[in-house]
Structure 1
């Protein structure tokens, strides 16, 4: 299953709390290694912001959940995604099914 993971920084409070959160994030992240079942297709940061995107293929939703739990200073969203052409194909199949029902 492909997942699009997005994250944004949680409100931390004072400027020093933000600085300490950034230090801790980098301390944790620089020691993290992607699990073998993570096939990362894109991993980017939003310019001028504390957040980003990761597109990955992973067969274990718990591994995705574990990644999203690693940095509590961020709010994560992990959304299952499918290629556009696959979505269009099944949407056309659904339309055809509905259209067949009209005549009955």
Structure 2
């Protein structure tokens, strides 16, 4: 199943807290720390803070891990389907 993951960095009280949060996120996103079930198809950053990713996994609990491990950011996870698959499903539903 594919998901769109949206994240926004949480506000911090000081520059030191912001730097510590950035370090935690960089460490958590290092290759060896991400669950192997997660396949990142697209990963883009917003101008400003935060970003979006299209992630595929058969283990939704690993998305929960992702949201917990990267506590300096708030996450929204939404299931999605490919555009052409959506069109076919909608045509089936109408017919």
Q: State TM-score, norm by structure 2.
A: 0.81
Distance 1:69 1:32, change over 3 A: farther
Query: Greater Rg, structure 1 or structure 2?
Result: 1
Residue 93 (str. 1) matches residue 73 (str. 2): no
Distance 1:39 1:22, change over 3 A: closer
**1:9 corresponding residue in structure 2:** 9
List runs of 5+ in structure 1 lacking aligned partners.
97-104
State the alpha-carbon separation in 1 of the partners of residues 60 and 16 from structure 2: 35
Residue 51 (str. 1) matches residue 74 (str. 2): no
4-13 vs 20-29, greater mean Cα deviation: 20-29
State the alpha-carbon separation in 2 of the partners of residues 27 and 37 from structure 1: 18
Alpha-carbon shift at residue 32 of structure 1 (Å): 4.8
Q: Given that residues 6 and 52 in structure 2 are in contact (C-alpha distance below 8 angstroms), is that contact kept between their aligned partners in structure 1? A: yes
Equivalent residue runs for 1:68-87 within 5 Å: 68-87=67-86
Q: What is the root-mean-square deviation of aligned Cα atoms in Å?
A: 2.0
**2:19 corresponding residue in structure 1:** 19
**1:60 corresponding residue in structure 2:** 59
State the alpha-carbon separation in 2 of the partners of residues 28 and 44 from structure 1: 17
Count of residues paired in the alignment? 95
Alpha-carbon shift at residue 31 of structure 1 (Å): 6.9
Alpha-carbon shift at residue 53 of structure 1 (Å): 1.6
54-63 vs 9-18, greater mean Cα deviation: 9-18
